């Protein structure tokens, strides 16, 4: 695969991350159009078939045997992609409510770095987006602000009251700045 390797998706790892990476590989191979069907009019049927076969083989070569058995034989790369999404993307209302509840009760874990906490938070946001929630980005900064512990209260106040508007980048930068301040002022 042109020197790019991707860990086979085994059904247990993060599907959304695997899917993003797989999409990147298919785009670099110039065959993702076989999945999204956004061909220009001047593409021959033969070229479409070649692209589909190449995309199909690239996907199945990056699936574990157990996942391959679950998806079964699909007729096209698009069908295979959609079957994987059906199997590994949870869009039910109970799942969405569980994730939203988890998000609104999210708290920073001070035993982890800010980057590790933000990775957890971002994963939660991505999982919620996969359920079809298109408004998640609107309230993410507020949820993250509420996740800030008391030891970061001065940073929280500066983020909340020192600006005309607050976005996720503002909150993240404020948290990282406070983390650096704490590291510098920590006695060695």
Asked if 124 and 103 sit in the same domain, the reply is yes
Residues 99 and 150 in one domain: yes
Q: Does residue 131 lie within any of the structural domains?
A: yes
Tally of structural domains, the chain: 2
**CA count, 13 A, side-chain hemisphere, 177:** 12
Backbone φ, ψ for residue 63 (5° rounding): -120, 145
Is position 34 within any domain? yes
Domain-terminating residue out of 62, 88, 114: 88
Rounded-to-integer distance, Cα 67 and Cα 131, Å: 21
**Where in the sequence is the domain holding 57, given as residue range(s)?**
15-88
Q: Is residue 5 part of a domain?
A: no
For 9, list phi and psi in degrees, rounded to 5: -75, 125
Residue 106 falls inside a structural domain: yes
CA distance 138 to 26: 31
What is the token pair recorded at 146? 């509420």
pLDDT at 19: 93
| 101 plus 70 within the same structural domain | no
Looking at residue 55, what is its pLDDT? Answer: 96
Q: Which residues of 49-77 are buried (b: 16+ CB within 10 A; e: fewer)?
A: eebbebbbebbbebbeeebbeebeebebb
Residue 2: per-residue pLDDT: 52
H-helix or E-strand spanning residue 159 = helix 153-161
Residue with tokens 């970061």: 152
Q: What is the mean pLDDT of residues 151-158?
A: 88
β-sheet bridge partners, residue 63: 9
Which of 82, 22, 26 is closest to 54 using CA atoms?
A: 26
Q: Given 40, 63, 88, which residue is the final one in a domain?
A: 88
pLDDT at 1 over 60: no
Q: Check residue 12 and report its DSSP letter.
A: S
What is the rounded (10 degree) CA torsion for 29, 30, 34, 39?
180
Whether 131 and 107 map to the same domain: the answer is yes
What is the per-residue pLDDT for 10? Answer: 93
Average pLDDT of the residues in 137-156: 89
Query: What pLDDT, in 10s, does the model give residues 100-123?
Result: 888 888 999 989 999 999 999 998
């Amino acid at each position: 695969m042109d020197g790019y390797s991707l860990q086979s998706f085994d059904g247990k790892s993060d599907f959304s991350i695997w899917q993003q990476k797989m999409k990147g590989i298919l785009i670099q191979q110039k065959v993702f159009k076989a999945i999204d069907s956004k061909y220009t009019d001047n593409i021959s049927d033969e070229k479409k078939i070649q692209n589909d076969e190449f995309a199909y083989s690239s996907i199945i070569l990056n699936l574990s045997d157990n996942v391959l058995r679950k998806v079964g034989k699909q007729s096209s790369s698009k069908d295979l992609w959609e079957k994987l999404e059906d199997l590994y993307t949870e869009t039910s209302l109970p799942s969405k409510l569980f994730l939203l509840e988890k998000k609104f009760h999210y708290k920073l874990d001070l035993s982890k770095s800010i980057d590790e906490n933000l990775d957890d938070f971002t994963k939660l946001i991505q999982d919620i987006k996969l359920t079809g929630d298109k408004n998640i980005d609107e309230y993410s900064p507020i949820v993250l602000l509420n996740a800030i512990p008391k030891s970061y209260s001065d940073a929280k106040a500066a983020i909340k009251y020192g600006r005309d508007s607050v976005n996720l980048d503002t909150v993240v930068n404020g948290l990282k700045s406070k983390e650096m301040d704490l590291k510098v002022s920590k006695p060695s």
